[in-house]
Amino acid sequence: MTDQTATINGQVATFESGETIFAAAERLGVHIPTLCHDPRLKPAGACRTCLVEIKGRPKLVPACATSLEAGMEIDTENERVERHVKTLLSMYLADHDSQAAGTSPGADGGKNENQLLDLARRHDAPMDWPTLENIRKGRPEDLNPYVAFEAEKCIACARCVRYCAEVESVSAITMAERGGETTVFTSDGRSLMDTTCELCGGCIDTCPTGAMTEKKPLSMESVESDALSKVRTTCNYCGVGCQMDLNVDVSANDGRGKVVKITSPKPGTTTNDGNLCVKGRFAYDFIDHSERLTTPLVRDGDGQLREATWDEAYRRAAEGLLKVAARHGNDSLGFVSSSRCTMEENFLMQKLSRTVFHTNNIHQCAAT
Ligand code: SF4
Ligand code: SF4
Ligand code: FES
C-alpha cells in the first residue's frame, strides 16, 4: 500500500508500510539528528538522539526505529524535542574527549569526521559541561596496521559492532562491560589481526565520533585542511568497480598532489553503498612508491632491462607476437586481459586478439 499518509511538521508524507519516520522525514528534507543510525544497518534505537513527538503519545519516540502509521502527526522541532536533543548531546560530550575529537591530533591527525561535534554545534548544545573521567577501557596495544580505537571518544552507540556483524558478516568486535564502562572489545582483547577482522575499515567509516580511526594516513598530520581535496574515482583492484574518494594533499609533490587517505562516498549514493575492502581503503602506497614503474622497459641482447619509449616498447611487443604467430600459427597466441581494465579497454583487447591476430584465445580474469 502506498496511499497512507501522515504529517511531519505539518507536511504531508505519503509512505509505504514499514517505512520509518526518519526515512520519510529525510525524503521531505526535514533534518532529524542521528548518531547510531546508518542506513545500511537495522535500526537499533540506541542513542536516542532522533527522538520526535507524536501527537497523543506521552513519550518521545526514536524516529530511526519507529514505523509510520496512517494519520500520525509528528513534530520534530518543537521546544520539548529541541530541549531533549541539546541535553542529550551535552551529556554525550561530557562522556567524550571533545578536546581530542577533531581539534587535536588523534591517530589520523584528528581529521576523521565527528558527527557528535557537528550536531552539538548545529543544535547549539552547551559544550562546557564538566568532562567525566573516562572509565571505558581501550584494547591493549593492537598491532593491526590500520584500525585504531580510542575509548575516550566512544559513546557506545554500537554502530561499528553492528556494521561488522550485519555488513561485513564477521563479528570481529563486540560491545563489552556494562553502564559507563561499556566499550568496544574483541574476544579476550586480542589484536584485530588475531580475530575474524578483514581490516575493511568499515567500522572507521561508520563511527560518528572519531573513536575508530585510521592508523595509516600517510601524512595527514601535516596537511592543512584547505590543501585537502576529494577526488571521486573508481577502484581498480578488481572488477566490482567500487567508487571511492581520494583525499589529495594538493600542495604535495611540487603541486602534483599526493593521496593521503581514501574514504568511501556516502551510503546510498554509489553501487558499493559506502563500503570498501581492505585493498580499496588502505592499499594506495603504490601510487607514489619509489619502485613503481613509470617508464616502459625492454630487454636487449645482453638480457638486461633498459628504459625505452612507448613507441619502442609497442614495436618490440608487436614484433615478438608476429614472430610467434608466423612460426606456430595464430592459435599459439593467447591474450589475457584484466579486471582492473575498463570495459572499453577489455573490448579493445578482444579486438586485438580476434581482428588483428585472428584467434579467439582471449580471456579476462573477472569472468566470474
Ligand atoms: S575493520 Fe571491518 S572486519 Fe575489522 S572490525 Fe572493523 S568492520 Fe569489522
Ligand atoms: S567506536 Fe564509534 S561506532 Fe563504535 S560504539 Fe564507539 S562511538 Fe559507536
Ligand atoms: S539515531 Fe535514532 S536512536 Fe540513535
Which CATH number covers residue 174?
A: 3.30.70.20
Whole-number Å distance between alpha carbons of 343 and 10:
49
Ligand nearest to the CA of 159: 2
CA of 137 to the centre of ligand 1 (A): 19
Exposure b/e, 132-165, CB count within 10 A at least 16 = b: eebebebbeebebebbbbbbbbbbbbbbbbbbbb
The residue contributing the CA closest to ligand 2 atom 6 is 154
Angle between helical axes of 79-94 and 115-122 (0-180°, round to 10) = 140
Residue located via cell numbers 585472428: 358
Give the three-state DSSP class for 58.
coil
Query: What is the CATH number for 38?
Result: 3.10.20.740
pLDDT at 106: 36
245 and 343 co-located in one domain: no
- Residue by residue, pLDDT tens for the chain (368 residues) are 567 999 999 999 999 999 999 999 999 999 999 999 999 999 999 999 999 999 999 999 999 999 999 999 999 999 999 999 999 999 999 988 755 543 333 334 444 568 999 999 999 999 888 888 888 888 777 889 999 999 999 999 999 999 999 999 999 999 999 988 999 999 888 999 999 999 999 999 999 999 998 886 655 556 666 778 999 999 988 878 899 999 999 988 888 899 989 999 999 999 999 999 999 999 998 998 999 999 999 999 999 999 999 999 999 999 999 999 999 999 999 999 987 788 899 999 999 999 999 999 999 877 64
Domain span holding position 228:
220-288
Cβ(50) – ligand 3 distance below 6 Å? yes
Domain end marker among 180, 214, 248? 214
267 and 342 co-located in one domain: no
Ligand 1: residues whose CB is within 6 Å? 147, 163-164, 168, 170, 172-173, 192, 197-203
DSSP code of 272? T
pLDDT at 355: 97
Residue 162, in any domain of the structure: yes
70 and 153 co-located in one domain: no
- CA nearest neighbour of 199 among 142, 158, 155: 142
Residue 87, in any domain of the structure: no
Q: Which amino acid is at 298?
A: V
Cβ(76) – ligand 3 distance below 6 Å? no
pLDDT at 100: 53
Number of domains in the chain: 4
Whole-number Å distance between alpha carbons of 340 and 354:
21
Residue 119, in any domain of the structure: no
pLDDT at 110: 40
Residue 89, in any domain of the structure: no
Domain end marker among 186, 214, 242? 214
pLDDT at 220: 57
209 and 224 co-located in one domain: no
- The DSSP element (H or E) to which 271 belongs, if any, is none
The number of the ligand 3 atom at minimal distance from the alpha carbon of 47 is 4
Neighbouring C-beta atoms of residue 100, cutoff 10 Å:
16
Residue 93, in any domain of the structure: no
Domain end marker among 228, 262, 288? 288
CA of 43 to the centre of ligand 3 (A): 8
206 and 143 co-located in one domain: yes
- What pTM, to 2 d.p., does this model score? 0.86
